[in-house]
Amino acid sequence: MDRRRFLTLSALTPAAAVLATGDPAFAMPEGDGRSRPAGRHRFGFAADGSAFLLDGKPFQIRSGELHPARIPVQYWRHRIRMAKAMGINTIALYIMWNHIEERPGVFDFRTDRRDIARFIRLCQAEGMWVLLRPGPYVCAEWDLGGIPPYLLRHPDIRLRVGSAADPRYMAAVTRYYRQLVPRIRPLMAAHGGPVLMVQIENEYGSYGKDHAYLEELRQLWIDGGVPGPFYTQDGLWQVEINHTNVPGGAIGLSGGDAGAIAAARTAFPAAPVLAGEVYPGWLTHWGEPGFQGQDTDLSATLRAFMEGGLSFNLYMIHGGTNFGFFAGANANDQSGDYQADITSYDYCAPITEQGVATARYTAYRDLIARYLPSPPPKVPAPVPTLARAGHRALLPRPFASVWDNLPAPLPGDRTVEPRPMETYGQNSGFILYRKTLSGFTGGTLDIAWVHDYATVFVNGAYQGGFSRQNIPPALAERLRVTNNDRPLPLRTPAAAEDARLDIFVEGMGRTNYGHAMVDRKGILESVRLTGTGAPSGPLTGWEVFLLPMDERYVRSLRHRITDPGRPGLFFRCDLTLKRTGDTYLDMSGWSKGVVWVNGHNLGRYWEIGPQHRLYCPAPWLRRGRNEILIFDHHRTRAEPISFADTLG
């Protein structure tokens, strides 16, 4: 994406309850075969670049972007049908490489939200074409722009470069493509599938201009039996300056409108052009005053597309959710001004995070329909929710302490100096650095650098913390958390003694756009204590504990809290349901942490907002007992959790 602007339960009927649970009865019937893009088709370009052609006839791509990784599998068909009912005929989708290959050489194209081929076949069953955007880099406000963090274990790694610049990166890309391309080949339109075009990289003109790199990527597809058609995606200015299109390929424009398409056609008269990212909303960072993009109106832009028969893709038509630890971040090219993205990817899109048609959806649908030979399909019924008025708030109880659930430390020869989590093979979550200080008499803690949020303890007593992202001064003062990597004064003990220093670090979203993408998590370089009596020089000889807080770790938690007054607690409560439905957990009384429901990681919450409610889809709930688990950085006493049916 272009960054140039930097619960009444009884109210549900039994049938509605089945719809919301993901029960087999919820599986919608196959789409109308008469509208299905079945059989082999020829998709290509007019010789003069003036049009896209389907089976030799001009074809307008009316696309909406959906990301399978951000949508519960049980709702894939519903969201595709919602897009179709708005007058859309094509689905654009990113493939997040790091969601498919979390460990080197271990690929998962099958479980949960990773079955890309199944999603594409669902698009075809619903009579929809597909624009495929497979990376290796996608941006997308996704952690590291979709590139696997395991590559960051190399201290000098270079990303988004060709083999000549860094063969390690391209070797990993090649391994990924050799797994991916054979799965996509039978899904191309020429082989009877719905995929019209494959995008080569993503917005590379905003990053570099190494044409050999783009050609290496294109050739991997060709070698795998997919000769095209291809296209690239860039801002108009970037593609005009850097010429980051590929030979014989189409051009997608970020933020494009009818005027930008005309300008690109003038600059590249042989290439067909589409507005590849048209923004009906915008992304939101933690700490911003509200959800961004609420005032966007695309009516005039869409009208010009429809009147001119111009092709376009709405980014996003439905945003979905950054479940787990996959939300990304933005920073400047020196990695400063860090801003992590919120968990919700609602994007103020025409279809909300929960799948509801907004007023703009209706307006855009009516506008597009005026130019179509037949009306769009009926809008699907909304997925039922747990109404906010029908379920009382829950009060969780302390369940476990992270300090009583530490794994074995890493071997000491690997932790003489503190290193980022990627060095130790961890992709996301938390990491603890522990050091015994002999004869400690106080001092000031200076860390270079904390990525991204840390709490600090001496002999179990909370001292304060560090935040890479600026937080409001009043909150920083209340929590004794420093901004901008400023040193943290530690409380002076009554007498010199051996003291245990704990630095507990959360890695938040990795930078997903720009030249500061090598964004490692944890402590990057060194830790020092300064002041009278403090040890001089960098502190060495650490114990390091890896805490990915993945499903395995959460399942293995022991119900134990040795020190209930020490922050770093898990809280738990049970929710008993007669019927299920989509809901939002309101965490507005809490500080900063993560929520799991029945083992599913809903994502992060943070009191700085603007998001205070986390989306919980009905398929992740069950009739009867449900477990809600919360980890909070700062709270030692629980606050109530209430339920809502909207994001805010």
Active site residues: 203, 277
* Inter-residue contact 95 to 118 (CB < 8 Å): no
Residue 554 token pair: 């959460």
| 121, HSE (Cβ side, Cα atoms, 13 Å) | 9
DSSP 297-340: --HHHHHHHHHHT--EEETTSB--B--TT-B-EE--TTS-S-EE
Closest to 429 measured CA to CA, from 581, 547, 586, 555 = 547
**569-577 sheet: strands from edge to edge:** 397-401, 569-577, 624-632, 592-597, 600-606
Cα–chain center distance at 439: 45
The helix (H) or strand (E) run that includes residue 179 is helix 167-184
Query: What is the Cα–Cα distance from 267 to 294, expressed in whole angstroms?
Result: 33
Closest to 473 measured CA to CA, from 604, 605, 608 = 608
Query: What is the Cα–Cα distance from 247 to 215, expressed in whole angstroms?
Result: 9
3-state class (DSSP) for residue 342: coil
Closest to 556 measured CA to CA, from 451, 402, 432, 413 = 402
Residue 180 token pair: 């991916």
* Inter-residue contact 21 to 622 (CB < 8 Å): yes
**Residue 300: how many CB atoms within 10 A of its CB?**
11
- Report which residue type is found at 469: Q
Check whether the bond before 449 is cis (ω within 30° of 0): yes
Q: Dihedral (C-alpha) 7, 13, 14, 19: value to the nearest 10 degrees?
A: -70
Query: What is the Cα–Cα distance from 278 to 613, expressed in whole angstroms?
Result: 27
**DSSP 8-state class, residue 5:** -
Nearest-5° Cα angle at 140, 136 to 141: 120
* Inter-residue contact 16 to 384 (CB < 8 Å): yes
- In three-state form (DSSP H/G/I as H, E/B as E, the rest C), the secondary structure along 460-472 is CEEEEEEECCCCC
